[in-house]
């Protein structure tokens, strides 16, 4: 029998052990594997756009310019450029989520 874990006080080893027990299922997996009617909300594929203004627009342009420079450096090997591409994409996505989120992702890197 497994001991009861205090979820607020888990060690790294306990977290890794617990993580191995989780299974992530996609909507397609559930619809294919579970018999009967499975109710999911209907998806709305419409995307809205919005315009950045003022300081947010300047911040986004500055970060976009920075990421372009780091990714398009011709002195880098192909694998290194690919790593920088994914890092740049992550930074831009977090920036669009919120500037605070982008700052936290950059300052919390190992």
The 3 state secondary structure assigned to the chain is: CCCCCCCCCCCHHHHHHHHCCCCCCCHHHHHHHCCCCCCCCCCCCCCCCCCCCHHHHHHHHHHHHHHHHHHCCCCCCHHHHHHHHHHHHHHHHHHHHCHHHHHHHHHCCC
Q: Residues 8-64: pLDDT tens digits? A: 888 888 888 888 888 777 888 888 888 788 787 887 888 878 788 888 889 889 989
Q: Is the pLDDT of residue 109 over 70?
A: no
pTM for the model stands at 0.50
């Amino acid at each position: 029998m497994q001991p009861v874990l205090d979820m607020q006080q888990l060690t790294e080893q306990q977290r890794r052990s617990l993580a191995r027990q989780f299974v992530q299922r996609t909507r397609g997996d559930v619809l294919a594997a579970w018999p009967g009617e499975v109710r999911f909300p209907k998806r709305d594929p419409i995307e809205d756009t919005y315009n950045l203004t003022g300081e947010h627009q300047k911040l986004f342009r500055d970060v976009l310019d920075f990421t372009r420079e780091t990714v398009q450096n011709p002195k880098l090997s192909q694998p290194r450029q690919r790593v920088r591409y994914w890092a740049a994409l992550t930074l831009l996505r977090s920036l669009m989520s919120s500037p605070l989120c982008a700052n936290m992702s950059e300052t919390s890197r190992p």
